[in-house]
Amino acid sequence: MNVLYYWRPDNYLRDRRFGFGYHLNQNSPVLARVAEGDTVWAFTRDRAGRYVLAAALVVRAVTRNPPAYRYGRYRVWGDLDRTRYFDVDASPGAEALIRHLRIAARAELLAQSFQGHSAVRPLESTDHQLLYDFSAGLPVLRKVGVYPEDEFEARLLLGPGARELLVADGDEASAVRMRYLFETVDVTRVRRHVESLQQAYAGRCQICRFDPRARYGRGLCHGHHIQWLSRGGEDEIENMVLVCPNHHAAVHQADAVFDYDDLTFRFANGLIEAIRLNQHLRPAA
């Protein structure tokens, strides 16, 4: 099922400034019916106040967020290769098209038709095709701020020298994003969380139960942020798991999603791996 979503301008500008995360969090139960390969169309208002298409997020997976998550119960993960973010500053207005769709958007101000759970509206196939045709010629943002989380995590733990190296890499937009990441993540706090996990699970991987301390006499498991810090994840222990190097690499390289509904990592090839050791994560209500 394809859907249309109103992306509040303040949220859009914040996400654009600090890097789109290729996911959407929302409370609407409509998202629970979206399937892999469907499209979440998003529109917002530009600086001139016009309603414009902002994104065509092609769905990779839909998962549940942790209990009482402030940004909503559901998370839609976008396909990194197929999702498009449009340049709203160079795009034509889309209000006439949106009002023409069969979604009863009749409020005087278009945004008023997309309040609360109605922020996400199901689309008929003909409406989806109209949006697809309209978007065909829209300018697409060249770079939308996805950064390698494993590299960020590693350099985060290395200290100020690594921070300077990373900020120096890439263009100015990358530098702004990296400054934001380093300035909002407390390195001491991250290390404290990792140490707490090491103690809670005796250094064992929460997925496969591998015990490197028993085998090698060394604590080799890593702290992993479930929702990546580089995509807006929070530095809370409830957003972390302890995993062996193999699982850490697999989760990063395969961009596995995590579902709090049953506390499982879900890989694009269909593999599902559950958290087998758990003392600190609560499943979705």
Is 106 in the same domain as 215?
no
Query: Which of residues 252 and 177 earns the better pLDDT score?
Result: 252
Domain holding 33: CATH number?
Answer: 3.10.590.10
Is 35 among the domain residues?
yes
Is 26 in the same domain as 122?
yes
Is 205 in the same domain as 88?
no
Tokens encoding 237: 């222990």
Is 98 in the same domain as 206?
no
pLDDT tens profile 27-39: 899 988 999 999 9
Structural domain count of the chain: 2
Q: Are 42 and 5 in contact (CB under 8 A)?
A: yes
Domain boundary among 113, 135, 157: 135
Is 171 among the domain residues?
no
* Cα–Cα distance measured from residue 25 to residue 74, given in angstroms and rounded to the nearest whole number: 6
pLDDT tens profile 200-257: 999 999 999 999 999 999 989 999 999 888 777 888 899 999 999 999 999 998 889 9
* Cα–Cα distance measured from residue 87 to residue 70, given in angstroms and rounded to the nearest whole number: 28
Is 12 among the domain residues?
yes
* Cα–Cα distance measured from residue 275 to residue 258, given in angstroms and rounded to the nearest whole number: 10
Query: Which of residues 269 and 168 earns the better pLDDT score?
Result: 269
* Cα–Cα distance measured from residue 237 to residue 223, given in angstroms and rounded to the nearest whole number: 9
The DSSP H or E segment spanning 42 is strand 39-45
Domain boundary among 135, 168, 201: 135
Is 115 in the same domain as 29?
yes
CB environment 141-157: b (16+ within 10 A), e (fewer): beebbbbebbebbebbe
User: Which pLDDT score, from 0 to 100, does residue 162 have?
Assistant: 47
Domain boundary among 112, 135, 158: 135
Is 80 among the domain residues?
yes
DSSP secondary structure letter of residue 115? -
Is 223 in the same domain as 130?
no
Sign of CA dihedral 187, 192, 198, 200: negative
Full domain range(s) for residue 241: 186-274
Is 122 in the same domain as 193?
no
* Cα–Cα distance measured from residue 26 to residue 73, given in angstroms and rounded to the nearest whole number: 6
* Cα–Cα distance measured from residue 122 to residue 75, given in angstroms and rounded to the nearest whole number: 16
Is 175 among the domain residues?
no
Rounded average pLDDT over 34-59: 95
Is 122 in the same domain as 241?
no
* Cα–Cα distance measured from residue 34 to residue 58, given in angstroms and rounded to the nearest whole number: 10
Is 168 among the domain residues?
no
User: Which stretch of 118-127, 184-193, 255-264 has the lowest confidence by average pLDDT?
Assistant: 184-193
pLDDT at 167 over 50: no
* Cα–Cα distance measured from residue 66 to residue 75, given in angstroms and rounded to the nearest whole number: 10
Residue 150: pLDDT band (50, 70, 90) is: low
User: Which pLDDT score, from 0 to 100, does residue 229 have?
Assistant: 80
User: Which pLDDT score, from 0 to 100, does residue 240 have?
Assistant: 94
Domain holding 262: CATH number?
Answer: 3.40.1800
Q: Are 53 and 42 in contact (CB under 8 A)?
A: yes
pLDDT at 170 over 50: yes
Q: Decide the pairing of beta strands 3-6 and 39-45.
A: parallel
pTM of the predicted protein model: 0.81
Is 163 among the domain residues?
no
Q: Give the closest residue to 240 by CA, choosing from 257, 225, 259.
A: 225
pLDDT at 169 over 70: no
Is 130 in the same domain as 245?
no
pLDDT tens profile 101-147: 998 887 888 988 888 778 899 999 999 999 999 999 899 987 666 66
